[in-house]
Amino acid sequence: MPTLNVDLGERSYPIYIEAGILNDAGFVFSEIRANHVIIISNNLVAPLYLEAFASRLKGLHKRVDSIVIADGESEKTLQTFEYVLSQLLAMPASRDACIVALGGGVIGDLAGFVSACYQRGIDFVQVPTTLLSQVDSSVGGKTAVNHPLGKNMIGAFYQPQAVYIDTTSLVTLPEREFSAGMAEVIKYGIIYDEAFFGWLESNISLIQNKDANTLNKMIARCCEIKATIVALDEREQNVRALLNLGHTFGHAIEAEQGYGNWLHGEAVSTGMVLAAKLANMRGDMELAQLTRIESLLTAFSLPTKGPENMNANAYITHMQRDKKAVNNQMRFVLPKGIGSAHVVANVTQQELITLLDES
């Protein structure tokens, strides 16, 4: 079984990647040390995995409770955050309890933020069930909820005790959700690993058909890249910002269109194309590489153009609130070519208007 490690000193933790972890009676969830476990899930994932997973944990002589919320990005709010905290207080859950996030990125971000805040911090474990959460949001300790004025603006850096990735959960994942996850997969090739980008181009059919070995290799490489970057820059002071390729534009789309109407990966896909086009406009990226990026995203049914009802002013209004902004100056992650990226802070409003009016 591929086992990676996120090297953060005393906050280090393992990532286990294996088909069937959730149903493998012989697998030991050794990082779940608490005697009281609270599983947080949603109403789509819970019917598929919650009962069997809870039964296994109870077999380890643990008390197991669950909190199930509605599915969707629209649930990643302060209101839901308060609801979950109220459920924990009513149980009651003590400081030595452990929260398990069973679901996609919304569940992981919300459960992680709850864990960071409840009694000033309790253990939590990630069990991601979507491709996007398996390759990106479950690793690295970013936790947050959204605000109507901006995505992920209220949160904390808080690392899990472990990440358990069961790749068989992707079999039940809707195709649109799988495609959305591929945007984050492709991102790693653009910012860090040209060879991996080429491997994705060569394995489109196997990935689309969810070949088990191919998916294991793909997810492991993404987690390996993410773990390497997080170990270098846990709190996003420099190199970790590269993981936000496409996110400045993408978060603007999500906020403007209403959270959940565009999936996160769909917005990031469009955002990466806009970032690549901007890099090409500035002479940092060849047109042929921009074309390769657009082609690979299109192969996985991902959008490469923004919403028709969204103009340049709407983008810029949201992007001025972006977390990467410093001294009210917008910063953008731009590719320098496939396999390399950098953060730039000298993009003018006129460049953005030209880019967005033409896209």
Catalytic residue of the set 240, 277, 318, 331: 240
Which member of 10, 61, 120, 308 is catalytic?
Answer: 120
Task: Read off the pLDDT of residues 105-125 as tens digits, 9 standing for 90 and up.
Answer: 999 999 999 999 999 999 999
Which CATH number is 130's domain given? 3.40.50.1970
- pLDDT reported for residue 330: 86
Catalytic residue among 264, 277, 323, 331: 264
One domain for residues 208 and 346: yes
Q: Where among 140, 172, 204 does a domain terminate?
A: 172
Select which of 244, 266, 280, 323 is catalytic.
244
* Of 260 and 340, more confident: 340
Q: Is 247 tagged catalytic?
A: yes
The catalytically annotated residue of 76, 226, 277, 323 is: 226
Contact yes or no for 264/180 (Cβ under 8 A)? yes
pLDDT at 323: 67
56 is catalytic: no
In whole angstroms, what is the distance from residue 10 CA to residue 95 CA? Answer: 19
Same domain, 107 and 233: no
Residue 87 sits in the same domain as residue 192? no
Q: Is 61 a catalytic residue?
A: no
Same domain, 243 and 305: yes
Do 167 and 207 share a domain, yes or no?
no
* DSSP-derived secondary structure for 152-170: EEEEEE---S-EEE-GGGG
Check which CATH number belongs to the domain holding 185 and give it. 1.20.1090.10
Same domain, 133 and 182: no
pTM, rounded to two decimals: 0.93
Q: Is 184 a catalytic residue?
A: yes
193 and 133 in a common domain: no
Number of domains in the chain: 2
Q: Known catalytic residue: 331? A: no
pLDDT of residue 277: 97
Which of 172, 204, 239 represents a domain boundary (last residue)?
172
The CB-side HSE value for 288 (13 A sphere, CA atoms) comes to: 0
Using a pLDDT cut of 70, give the percent of the chain over it. Answer: 97
Spatial separation of the C-alpha atoms in residues 71 and 202, rounded to whole Å: 34
pLDDT at 322: 75
Cα separation values, 221 from 26, 182, 186, 214, 228, Å:
25, 13, 11, 11, 11
Cis, peptide link before residue 148, omega less than 30° from 0: no
Catalytic residue among 184, 224, 254, 294: 184
Out of 73, 234, 236, 266, the active site residue is 236
Which of 76, 187, 217, 247 is labelled catalytic? Answer: 247
Let me know if 36 is a catalytic residue.
no
Judgement on whether residues 233 and 129 belong to the same structural domain of the protein = no
Domain boundary among 172, 199, 216: 172
**48 and 135 fall within a common domain:** yes
Domain span holding position 10: 3-172
Query: Is 177 known to be catalytic?
Result: no
Is-catalytic flag, 75? Answer: no
The reply to whether 142 belongs to the active site is: yes
236 and 168 in a common domain: no
Query: Residue range 320-334: average pLDDT?
Result: 79
- pLDDT band for 1, please (50, 70, 90 cuts): low
Tell me phi and psi for residue 153, to 5 degrees: -85, -10
Both 182 and 78 in one domain: the answer is: no
Instruction: Verify whether residue 210 is a known catalytic residue.
Output: no
Mean pLDDT computed over every residue of the chain: 94
Per DSSP bridges, beta strands 142-147 and 150-157 are antiparallel
One of 42, 75, 76, 142 is an active-site residue; which one? 142
Residues 156 and 181 in one domain: no
Q: pLDDT per residue over 266-299, tens digit each?
A: 999 999 999 999 999 999 999 999 999 999 999 9
- pLDDT of amino acid 261: 93
